Structure 1
Amino acid sequence: MKKRIVKPEHERREEIINAAFAVIYEVGLSNTTIAQIAKKAQVSTGIVSHYFGDKQGLMTTCMREMLKRLYQITQQYKSEVNDPQPEHYIKAIVNANFDLSQVNKTAMRVWLDFWSASMHTPELARLQRVNDRRLYSNLKYQFLKLLPEHQADIAASGLAALIDGLWLRGGLNQHDQFDQQAVRHIAYDYLEIQFQRAKLK
């Protein structure tokens, strides 16, 4: 008789979360069930409930995981900046938001479904606000090195909105591959306008 391998809790939790992402991609968040996730992860529904409680608990954990992955990839891009100038850090933030980990079809479907659900679910709405504030504050911190407070606020708000808009436009276009290079160039053009404004002061 083959001995059953008991996986560490963190590995089992990660497998369940990844299974949840796969199911959401396949059937959508509203149609996703604990049973489908358990089947995809090859565990019992009891195991899923043990780790995450109900579906809402699992969905909240999944959104936190998405936020964590975005944070980690942003930190990675920023750590790779060789010339510590504000423009390079801002471009690193832009690049992170359009990294393949954020614009592959599964990630985009999951993000879109969570955005939609956040309008009706307080905890998901709170997490979405955390994500929005983090992007804005990171951008403003760098813009403040170039622009006065008021202009830095406008520049950061504008770029954050541009990033979200470009991402959303790509996410809703299910038939074409997300063009990372094109959207980065659009964001970079916006940055150049802000940099030129700073030089004129």
Structure 2
Amino acid sequence: MTSEQQTGKPVANDAVPTGRHDPEGRRRQIVHAAAALIPEVGLAKLTHRRVAERAGVSLGATTRYFANLEELRVAALTEMSEVLEHDLATTRERFERDGVSPETLTDDICEFLAEHELVRISIELVVAANADPTLRPLANLWSEGIVKLLTPSLGEAVARGIVLIMDGATMNASVNETPLSREQLSSIFAAILAGAEKPERAK
């Protein structure tokens, strides 16, 4: 997986030119700022004041467009999930081009773990979903997307097992300075695939 910086996708804190006659642009600017702050400071420390400072707008502007902090958080989390969705599209391209193997699985998760922002986005979405069940689809978007990509080649049970390893590696990377090594992950994937039965193809 690669980050949006590597693929050319606009990053969450790209500046959006706005003016008093562009309310939608101003709203996007505020959401971009919040989406950039959450991976840095966490949901618990997100405030209207911090968002206003990052967006370069007045404090009143944030409360004008978002009646409460929860509304702003949801908008920012939704934008953050789009970053993971873009990353998922890159993963799809890799598996379609190179196939599913211990090597491609390892390459994919290692690139993901190397992107601190992507790891933080994943963790913050899970934290938000624990507090608000309506956000679970956003938190599960990446994991369920990987399951869907892997199931045709490996079967659903193996696909979910691999995703559990990826989720665990992501959690591990969020609390440790050094993520699991390429060698560790490759050996885990190789062991899983070695024992996996090929799913029967529909005739």
Counterpart for residue 175 of structure 2:
172
**Residue 45 of structure 2 corresponds to residue 31 of structure 1:** yes
**Residue 152 of structure 2 corresponds to residue 141 of structure 1:** yes
Cα distance per residue 1:80-114 (max 9 Å; x no partner): 567464x26x96676555435x6533443343233
- Give me the whole-angstrom Cα distance separating, in 1, the residues matched to 2:168 and 2:134: 23
Deviation at 1:163, TM superposition (A): 0.8
Deviation at 1:61, TM superposition (A): 2.2
Cα distance per residue 1:138-181 (max 9 Å; x no partner): 221332xxxxxxxx1210110111110111111111xx244674
Deviation at 1:38, TM superposition (A): 0.9
Contact 1:64–1:127 (CA under 8 A) maintained in structure 2: yes
Contact 2:38–2:46 (CA under 8 A) maintained in structure 1: yes
- Give me the whole-angstrom Cα distance separating, in 1, the residues matched to 2:183 and 2:124: 24
- Give me the whole-angstrom Cα distance separating, in 1, the residues matched to 2:67 and 2:116: 27
Distance 1:34-1:169 versus aligned 2 partners, 3 A rule: same
Contact 2:122–2:139 (CA under 8 A) maintained in structure 1: no
**Residue 160 of structure 2 corresponds to residue 157 of structure 1:** yes
Counterpart for residue 126 of structure 1:
137
Distance 1:126-1:18 versus aligned 2 partners, 3 A rule: same
- Give me the whole-angstrom Cα distance separating, in 2, the residues matched to 1:108 and 1:159: 17
Contact 1:155–1:194 (CA under 8 A) maintained in structure 2: no
Instruction: Mark the runs of 5 or more structure 1 residues left unpaired by the alignment.
Output: 144-151
Which amino acid in structure 2 is aligned with residue 172 of structure 1?
A: V
Deviation at 1:29, TM superposition (A): 1.1
Distance 1:188-1:93 versus aligned 2 partners, 3 A rule: closer
**What are the within-5 Å matches in structure 2 for residues 1-201 of structure 1?**
6=18, 12-13=26-27, 15-79=29-93, 83=97, 85=99, 87=100, 95-100=107-112, 103-143=114-154, 152-173=155-176, 176-178=177-179, 181-182=182-183, 185-186=186-187, 188-190=189-191, 192-194=193-195, 197-198=197-198
Distance 1:158-1:9 versus aligned 2 partners, 3 A rule: farther
Q: Which moved more, 1:34-43 or 1:9-18?
A: 9-18
Instruction: Mark the runs of 5 or more structure 2 residues left unpaired by the alignment.
Output: 1-16
Distance 1:58-1:183 versus aligned 2 partners, 3 A rule: farther
Deviation at 1:11, TM superposition (A): 5.9
